[in-house]
Every structure is written in structure tokens, then in C-alpha cells.
């Protein structure tokens, strides 16, 4: 059954369609709203942590760049393509795509720069799960960026555009998942020493819940593309 509500305000008439999918739409909107709050919470948490050291160092640059790149920009870039994401709901598909591109490129550049800053600062590398996963996330980010550019330029030519889109989505999801896991290990190893077990465990749980919130809809879309 479809119920239509006419909502008159001055001379504008806005029609709101409420159909059988309404509970699902409400559910997805709540998930997205919670995800936005959590993205802000974990980004603030990491930046607040690094600020207590009060020294300008590669460590500080690393945390700012990786957190802004991966957690703020790349997560929002994925959410911008979500049909239930509040701020992007009013945009046309073409505009959403452009915003997605801009945020992905900027986020990836900052995230890659943040990883390189720490890789070349003279401290021995690949000695922790955080460092190894962070480097793998950087490699996936570079691959995702390249697949995104291939996706963009093959729009008009390729018959296999669906495959390119799937590869791009899978690489992007892998890059973000491994980056979030790396952040979990940063909370586990580094943050725990300063803020203790309770705060570190809470930060890890919130990071995992945020990742699930960011990736849910993108995974549903990818599965829909793969299934006939």
C-alpha cells in the first residue's frame, strides 16, 4: 500500500511517499546517523590523544593525516554514495559521484602522505601489527585510486564496466577495512599505555562498529551487482 502526504508550505508542494519499505528506510537512516556520530567520535579520540604530547613531530603529522584521510574523508566518501545518507540524499546521482570522487582523491592523498611520513622518519618499520596493517592499507588505497581512475575513463568505452566497478568497490572496502583494523591496533598498543584498558577497549569496539556502519550499504550494493 502507498500513502501519499501532501505537505504544503507557501506555494511549494512536497510529496512524501511512505510505502512498505518505510521501516527499512528508517532503520538505514538511524544506522547512518549513528555512523556519522561514531566517525566524529573516533577521529576526535585519536586527534585528542596525539595532542597531549604537545610536540610537533612526524607522529603528530601521521595521526592527523591518516585520521582525516581515512576516517573522516574516505568514510564520508563511501557514505556519500549511500541512498540513505542524510546530507547526500538531496543530490543528483551525478553530483553525488563528483563529491565521492573529490573526497576519495583528497582522502587517499592525505592518508598515503600520513603513512609515508611515518615510514620514512627513521624509526624501524614493520615491527607492529599496526605498522604492517597500515602499510597494507596504503597499498590497497593506491590500488583503489588507480582502479577508480580506470573506472572513470572506461565509462564510455568498456562493456565490462560492472566488473571494473566491482573491483573498485572491493579494493576501496579492503583499503578502509585494513586502515580501521590498523587504527584498532594503534588504540590497542599505543593509546592503551596512556589511557588504560577501559578507554582502549571502548575505542576499539567503537572503531569496529563504525566500520560496519560505513561498509554495510556499499557491501549490499556490491552483492546486488554480482548477483544476477
Binding site for ligand HEM (CB under 6 A): 46, 49, 59, 62-63, 66-67, 70-71, 115, 118-119, 123, 125-128, 130-131, 134-135, 137-138, 179, 182-183, 186, 190-191
What is the rounded CA–CA span in Å between residue 191 and residue 173? 25
Taking the least distance from each CB to ligand HEM, the nearer of 28 and 210 is: 210
Taking the least distance from each CB to ligand HEM, the nearer of 128 and 154 is: 128
CB 225 to ligand HEM: min, Å: 27
Q: Which residues, listed in sequence order, are joined to residue 16 by a DSSP beta bridge?
A: 5
Taking the least distance from each CB to ligand HEM, the nearer of 84 and 140 is: 140
CB 57 to ligand HEM: min, Å: 10
Taking the least distance from each CB to ligand HEM, the nearer of 125 and 151 is: 125
CB 208 to ligand HEM: min, Å: 13
CB 112 to ligand HEM: min, Å: 9
CB 175 to ligand HEM: min, Å: 9
DSSP annotation string for the chain: --EEEEEEETTEEEEEEE-TTHHHHHHHHHHHHHHHHHHHHHHHHHHHHHHTT----HHHHHHHHHIIIIIIIIHHHHHHT-TT-GGGTTS-HHHHHHHHHHHHHHHHHHHHHHHHHHHTSSSPPS-SHHHHHHHHHHHHHHHHHHHHHHHHHHTTT-S-HHHHHHHHHHHHHHHHHHHHHHHHHHIIIIIHHHHHHHHHHHHHHHHHHHHHHHHHHHHHHHHHHH--
CB 10 to ligand HEM: min, Å: 47
Taking the least distance from each CB to ligand HEM, the nearer of 39 and 67 is: 67
Taking the least distance from each CB to ligand HEM, the nearer of 28 and 73 is: 73
What is the rounded CA–CA span in Å between residue 112 and residue 126? 16
Amino acid at each position: 500500500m502507498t500513502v501519499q502526504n501532501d505537505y504544503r508550505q507557501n506555494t511549494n508542494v512536497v510529496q512524501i511517499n511512505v510505502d512498505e519499505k518505510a521501516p527499512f528506510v528508517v532503520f538505514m537512516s538511524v544506522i547512518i546517523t549513528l555512523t556519522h556520530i561514531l566517525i566524529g567520535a573516533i577521529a576526535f579520540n585519536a586527534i585528542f590523544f596525539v595532542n597531549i604530547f604537545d610536540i610537533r613531530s612526524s607522529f603528530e603529522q601521521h595521526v592527523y593525516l591518516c585520521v582525516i584521510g581515512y576516517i573522516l574523508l574516505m568514510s564520508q566518501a563511501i557514505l556519500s554514495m549511500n541512498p540513505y545518507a542524510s546530507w547526500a540524499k538531496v543530490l543528483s546521482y551525478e553530483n553525488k559521484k563528483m563529491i565521492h570522487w573529490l573526497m576519495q582523491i583528497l582522502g587517499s592523498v592525505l592518508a598515503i602522505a600520513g603513512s609515508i611520513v611515518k615510514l620514512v622518519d627513521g624509526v624501524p618499520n614493520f615491527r607492529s601489527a599496526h605498522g604492517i596493517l597500515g602499510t597494507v592499507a596504503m597499498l590497497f588505497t593506491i590500488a583503489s585510486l588507480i582502479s577508480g581512475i580506470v573506472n572513470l575513463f572506461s565509462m564510455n568505452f568498456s562493456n565490462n564496466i560492472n566488473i571494473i566497478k566491482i573491483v573498485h568497490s572491493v579494493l576501496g572496502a579492503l583499503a578502509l577495512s585494513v586502515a580501521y583494523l590498523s587504527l584498532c591496533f594503534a588504540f590497542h598498543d599505543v593509546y592503551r599505555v596512556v589511557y588504560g584498558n577501559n578507554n582502549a577497549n571502548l575505542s576499539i569496539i567503537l572503531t569496529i562498529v563504525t566500520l560496519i556502519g560505513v561498509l554495510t550499504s556499499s557491501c549490499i550494493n556490491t552483492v546486488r551487482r554480482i548477483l544476477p
